Amino acid sequence: MSEESRLEAMEARLKTLEHELGIQKDIEEVRRLHYIYMYYNSNRMAKQLLDLVSENAESIEIAGRGVYCGKDGFRKNFIGQGAPSDAGVKDVGWSFGNVLFQLGGMDVITVADDRKTAKGRFAVLTPVIMGFPDNQRVSLNAGVYEQGFVREDGVWKISKFKYVHYFMVQLEDLKVRPGYSRWPDSENPADAPTTWYHPFPEAGVMPFHFTNPVTGETAPEIVDPTHYWIGNWPGEFGQRGRKESGSN
């Protein structure tokens, strides 16, 4: 191999290594962005949270509330359910006797080869204590985020947001009472119906953005056909309630 050929090979290898290192840097920045979001969300810091969102954001969907488009859709979701659509966004924190804390992990982050966009799946477990001491309520919920991210001027931001509860339960005398979370909001109606939501005792697997790393296969979407909640199945959006016995 000539000296010129060796130099060309080294330059090509260096370019590949720089790209691979850049991808890893992107993964860490996206992970950090999402975890910072969870800290802000856990502490009711809506203003800080919204600053993490791209001005050109696509959509946000939380539980059974429906799909909201654009960054204004994010604002409508984080001003608080039932608040007027023109309500301001503030960092308020929790009041005495109330706490919510998201514990996140199990992240799988996929960065596009051009390093302009990324997708991430994250799991979260959230203990919630409200109303201490006189009207105390203790609940526990867990769910999954499937997020989209965009890099703008070298900074990663949230561009698409979907969160579903896999379960949301009230803990009373060590008995589980299923909860739904986030019915449609008449004060701030969604732009489109819920796309996928089957909280406990319904069961399913929300589609993964990633493929099997060994086979390249896309895992199937799985939904148990037992119908318990009303409002999250096709044709039901806007309704609310449950079928106590469950039915197919």
pLDDT tens digits, one per residue of 28-38: 999 999 999 99
d(CA 167, CA 27): 28
d(CA 149, CA 118): 5
Name 143's Cβ contacts closer than 8 Å, sequence gap at least 6: 63, 123, 124, 126, 163, 164, 165, 166
Question: Given this model, what pLDDT does residue 3 score?
Answer: 78
Q: Model pTM?
A: 0.91
pLDDT tens digits, one per residue of 128-180: 999 999 999 999 999 999 999 999 999 999 999 999 999 999 988 778 889 99
d(CA 122, CA 148): 12
On the question of pLDDT at 244 being above 80, the answer is no
Domain 3-247: which topology? Nuclear Transport Factor 2; Chain: A, (3.10.450)
Query: In terms of C-beta density within 10 A (0-12 exposed, 13-18 middle, 19 or more buried), how is residue 9 classed?
Result: exposed
Half-sphere exposure at residue 2, Cβ-oriented, CA atoms within 13 angstroms: 3
- Distance, C-alpha 72 to centroid of its chain: 17
Question: Given this model, what pLDDT does residue 100 score?
Answer: 95
Question: Given this model, what pLDDT does residue 31 score?
Answer: 98
Instruction: Indicate the domain borders of the chain.
Output: 3-247
pLDDT tens digits, one per residue of 167-203: 999 988 778 889 998 899 988 899 999 999 999 999 9
